[in-house]
Amino acid sequence: MLLLHLSDVDEARWAEAFTQSLAPYKVVRQGEDFDPADVDYIFVWKPRPEAFEGLSNLKAVLSLGAGVDALLKHPRLPDVPVVRFIDKDLSQRMSDYVVAHVTMHHRQFTRFQADQKARRWSQFYPPAANETTVGIMGLGVLGQDAITRLRPLGFDLRGWSRTPKVIDGVAGFAGAAQFDAFLSGTDILVNLLPLTPETQGILNAETFAKLRRGGLASGPVIVNAARGGHQREADIAAALADGTLGAASLDVFEVEPLPADSPLWGLENCFITPHIAAISNEKTGVHYFTRIIQDHLAGRELINVVDRARGY
């Protein structure tokens, strides 16, 4: 039996689609009448504290999200494999966000928007894409997809990961020892890291001060589409105000929804979206997890299992 336990998304629609695609295998939703001991798999998003109660025969936890930081912190997460979502459609949506914000900042959108507001005709020519370096933090599924979409646009690309990576046309940096060198040549810093104890708060004043100055006229830029826990919002607000950063695009926040009194809302060089960079698509999601369940029931190994010790 598959149990759905989803918050903040339309659980009924996912349940209907799973019921069709897994039939005659039984699919149930939280709150329905079933014996928890019959549940083999639980499909979760933002599970409540009691989500896993009584699931004594659970084989795996299936995560609707690509990021599993919150799930791994669940105090009663059972000791079974956690499978996360990896999907072309999700990668495409994330790369759409990354490309939109990188190109917007490269073309100095903040400056021309201010000029327009002031009715000021000020001819300023942004650098060419190949004179602008985009540094991607996190060279996993999403980081590598963003690279394949930024590369044809001509940007100079560099990437930072935990272990070294060789990627065509990308200057690679790895580990804490190479972080400063990575930052020192970066004009637009894109964060696609998982949130772990090592990456918590990585977007902070010290990091911003190490970014390249002089590449983009208004200062270096950050784009965070990963997790709010990666950023220190007080540092971002200060850096945007004093020119350490020229602009920021933030899709995620320390507290979501972003509180109405956050100073970030009022900054003209801060571009806020409400955690919508990429959402798991029901159609491809049901297809992906149906295959995982059916393969596993047929005796094959689970794929895309999270390394709990590593935290992603």
Q: Catalogue the active-site residues.
A: 227, 275
Number of residues forming the site for ligand GLV (CB under 6 A): 4
Query: Closest distance between ligand NAP and the C-beta of residue 44, in Å?
Result: 15
**Of 65, 143, 215, 220, which lies in the binding site for ligand GLV, with binding defined by CB under 6 A?**
65
How crowded is residue 73: how many other Cβ atoms within 10 Å of its Cβ?
A: 10
DSSP 8-state secondary structure symbol assigned to residue 266: G
β pairing state of 247-250 and 221-224: parallel
Per the CB < 8 A criterion, the answer to whether 165 and 159 are in contact is yes
Q: Which range touches ligand GLV (CB under 6 A), out of 63-71, 163-171, 198-206, 216-224?
A: 63-71
**Of 18, 42, 67, 135, which lies in the binding site for ligand GLV, with binding defined by CB under 6 A?**
67
User: Measured from the CB atom, is 226 or 245 closer to ligand GLV?
Assistant: 226
Backbone φ, ψ for residue 16 (5° rounding) = -60, -45
Applying the rule CB under 6 A, the residues between 144 and 163 that interact with ligand GLV are: none
**Nearest-angstrom CA–CA distance, 72 and 170:** 31
User: Measured from the CB atom, is 208 or 312 closer to ligand GLV?
Assistant: 312
Backbone φ, ψ for residue 266 (5° rounding) = -90, 0
Q: Is the dihedral of CA 40, 31, 90, 161 positive or negative?
A: negative
User: Measured from the CB atom, is 11 or 87 closer to ligand NAP?
Assistant: 87
Per the CB < 8 A criterion, the answer to whether 226 and 195 are in contact is yes
Q: Which range touches ligand GLV (CB under 6 A), out of 32-40, 60-68, 121-129, 144-152?
A: 60-68
Query: Closest distance between ligand NAP and the C-beta of residue 196, in Å?
Result: 6
The partner in contact with residue 142, picked from ligand NAP, ligand GLV, none with C-beta cut-offs of 5 to 8 angstroms by kind, is ligand NAP
Q: Which range touches ligand GLV (CB under 6 A), out of 65-73, 97-105, 111-119, 197-205?
A: 65-73
Q: What is the contact mask toward ligand GLV in residues 271 to 310, using x (rule: CB under 6 A)?
A: ---------x------------------------------
Q: Is the dihedral of CA 11, 65, 305, 78 positive or negative?
A: negative
User: Measured from the CB atom, is 118 or 177 closer to ligand NAP?
Assistant: 177
Q: Which range touches ligand GLV (CB under 6 A), out of 12-20, 59-67, 147-155, 228-236?
A: 59-67
- CA 258 → CA 195, 251, 312, distances in Å? 18, 10, 25
Query: Closest distance between ligand NAP and the C-beta of residue 110, in Å?
Result: 22
Per the CB < 8 A criterion, the answer to whether 302 and 296 are in contact is yes
Please report, to the nearest 10 degrees, the dihedral formed by the alpha carbons of residues 301, 303, 306, 310 taken in order: 90
Positions that interact with ligand NAP (CB under 6 A): 66-67, 94, 138-143, 160-163, 192-196, 198-199, 225-227, 251-252, 275, 277-278, 312
Alpha helices in 126-251 (DSSP H): 141-150, 179-184, 205-209, 233-242
98: left (phi over 0), alpha (psi -120 to 50) or beta: alpha
Per the CB < 8 A criterion, the answer to whether 186 and 211 are in contact is yes
User: Measured from the CB atom, is 97 or 155 closer to ligand NAP?
Assistant: 97
The partner in contact with residue 101, picked from ligand GLV, ligand NAP, none with C-beta cut-offs of 5 to 8 angstroms by kind, is none
The partner in contact with residue 104, picked from ligand GLV, ligand NAP, none with C-beta cut-offs of 5 to 8 angstroms by kind, is none
**Nearest-angstrom CA–CA distance, 91 and 89:** 5
Q: Which residues bind ligand GLV (CB under 6 A)?
A: 65-67, 280
